[in-house]
Amino acid sequence: FGKGGGKGGKGSKQLYCHFLPWGQYVCGAGFHASRRQKYGNVFKTHLLGRPLIRVTGAENVRKVLMGEHSLVTVDWPQSTSTLLGPNSLANSIGDIHRKRRKIFAKVFSHEALESYLPKIQQVIQETLRVWSSNPDPINVYRESQRLSFHMAVRVLLGFRVSEEEMHCLFHTFQDFVENVFSLPIDLPFSGYRKGIRARDSLQKSIEKAIREKPLHTQGKDYTDALDVLLESAKENNTELTMQELKESTIELIFAAFATTASASTSLIMQLLRHPAVLEKLREELRNCGLLHDGCLCQGELRLDSIISLKYLDCVIKEVLRLFAPVSGGYRIATQTFELDGVQVPKGWSVMYSIRDTHDTSAVFKDVEAFDPERFSPERSEDREGRFHYLPFGGGVRSCLGKQLATLFLKLLAVELAGGSRFELATRTFPRLISVPVVHPTDGLRVKFFGLD
């Protein structure tokens, strides 16, 4: 561990402990920082005995991300490829990947997001009500995972399932996620076998729900992402098979689950650390007529009103800069090429680091400070080129759900600023772990009170 998690203060960034999802300790951020200082922004290292090139810095990352399909391609562990399935985006390359993304694009269009908004808002409000009615502190990271799963299941799949069914689905999904990066050993009690069983069970539930689900694809009155996906496939003269639908929905929930939970937890932690930021958010809500006498106006909230909240936008961007949930992405070199004077041999793994790029980018003044206004129109420190700021990756494999994730985080912040009172339940803020996504070691214990 590096610096401790003291309460408050400007230096809100802690050093991370770095574990691989399958439980092995790798090395801390300090280790990578010292190697970077010694060898530069591109250096050779090893991951589980395999040679790996670690890449930092906007220009180097740009080359890797824009070199998708020509210099590099995706590189998933075997268990991940198998568990996500052959029809997933993760396993698609070239034209097939392009075609699949085109079909998915509509699922995250402005129009579609507008139609999901009331449902997302409802899931967040219900969750905050439950958190506030609990006399004990909430484990924010654990409960945010549940929240992001509910959001994904309701918004993406449009499932209307009982509490009990949701609970079962959530546990099965956790089994799936915990074993997605397991060693591919198919034995009765192996993690891999557990992951396969969880996947099969999820696919069965999804198929049942899809078959029972009324379709609402007429006109633009979308009810959930599955409807939009089916309509988009039709417009692209493609018929999605049941297997493709099942794999796609599990992949989307998987991509949304831990990332959104991590960002939600970091958002709550930063609002606790910086009461002035929370107050400024409230002021913005008051100025826009969304907050009256300490209460959120319960009228219909439109996507455009959310987008018009400029300070809110800065806060979310800053949370994702300082606490990027995904630390980076893995690729494999399809040919030998040079990066910053270092030769990247064909067949080697390449890891582009989002976190190190954010942490070392010269475009951000006082890089460790939580300073949302760095993204204000007057300062816009990220205008120097998009590869300095890349919480959602970049290039042809950039995050498909970026707009949905941002909307979700903004709605959560609006509800927290407008309708909740919450306090840290521990003496100091916890340290952070960065794998599989950034999260506090103790989950972040917070007492929620709701409105007085």
Instruction: Please say which residue, 140 or 404, places its beta carbon nearer to ligand HEM.
Output: 404
Q: Of the listed pieces 46-54, 214-222, 322-330, 425-433, which binds ligand HEM according to CB under 6 A?
A: 322-330
Q: Which of 53, 103, 228, 404 binds ligand HEM (CB under 6 A)?
A: 404
Q: Which of 56, 87, 203, 259 binds ligand HEM (CB under 6 A)?
A: 259
Q: Of the listed pieces 121-129, 251-259, 339-347, 418-426, which binds ligand HEM according to CB under 6 A?
A: 251-259
Instruction: By CB under 6 A, tell whether 263 contacts ligand HEM.
Output: yes
Residue window 264-293: x/- pattern of binding to ligand HEM, with contact defined by CB under 6 A: ------------------------------
Q: Which of 153, 202, 400, 432 binds ligand HEM (CB under 6 A)?
A: 400
Instruction: By CB under 6 A, tell whether 258 contacts ligand HEM.
Output: no
DSSP H or E stretch at residue 13: none
- Total residues contacting ligand HEM by CB under 6 A comes to 21
- Minimum distance from CB of 115 to ligand HEM (Å)? 15
Q: What angle do CA 69, 228, 209 make, to 5 degrees?
A: 105
The crossing angle, in degrees rounded to 10, of helices 163-179 and 242-273 is 90
Instruction: By CB under 6 A, tell whether 438 contacts ligand HEM.
Output: no
Instruction: By CB under 6 A, tell whether 85 contacts ligand HEM.
Output: no
Q: Which of 391, 419, 436, 443 binds ligand HEM (CB under 6 A)?
A: 391
Q: Which of 250, 344, 399, 414 binds ligand HEM (CB under 6 A)?
A: 399
What residues from 328 to 347 belong to the interface with ligand HEM (CB under 6 A)? 329
Please, which residues bridge with residue 17 across strands?
433
Instruction: By CB under 6 A, tell whether 392 contacts ligand HEM.
Output: yes
d(CA 312, CA 306): 8
Chain centroid, CA 400 distance in Å: 11
Q: Of the listed pieces 3-11, 175-183, 368-376, 401-409, which binds ligand HEM according to CB under 6 A?
A: 401-409
d(CA 391, CA 369): 17
Residue nearest to ligand HEM (CB): 401
Instruction: By CB under 6 A, tell whether 260 contacts ligand HEM.
Output: yes
Chain centroid, CA 356 distance in Å: 17
Instruction: By CB under 6 A, tell whether 325 contacts ligand HEM.
Output: yes
d(CA 31, CA 27): 6
DSSP 337-356: EEETTEEE-TT-EEEEEHHH
DSSP 244-282: HHHHHHHHHHHHHHHHHHHHHHHHHHHHHH-HHHHHHHH
Please, which residues bridge with residue 330 across strands?
351
- Minimum distance from CB of 406 to ligand HEM (Å)? 8
First-to-last alpha carbon distance for the chain, in angstroms, is: 39
**How many helices and strands (H and E) does the chain possess?**
15, 15
Instruction: By CB under 6 A, tell whether 393 contacts ligand HEM.
Output: yes
Q: Which of 101, 213, 282, 431 binds ligand HEM (CB under 6 A)?
A: 101
Instruction: By CB under 6 A, tell whether 64 contacts ligand HEM.
Output: no
d(CA 342, CA 41): 10
The SS3 of residue 53 is: strand
Strands (E), 6-93: 16-17, 42-47, 50-55, 72-74
d(CA 369, CA 234): 48
**Between the CA of residue 448 and those of 59, 132, 316, what are the distances in Å?**
43, 5, 21
- Minimum distance from CB of 197 to ligand HEM (Å)? 24
Q: Of the listed pieces 14-22, 203-211, 254-262, 267-275, which binds ligand HEM according to CB under 6 A?
A: 254-262
Chain residues in the site for ligand HEM (CB under 6 A): 89-90, 101, 252, 255-256, 259-260, 263, 325-326, 329, 391-393, 397, 399-401, 404-405
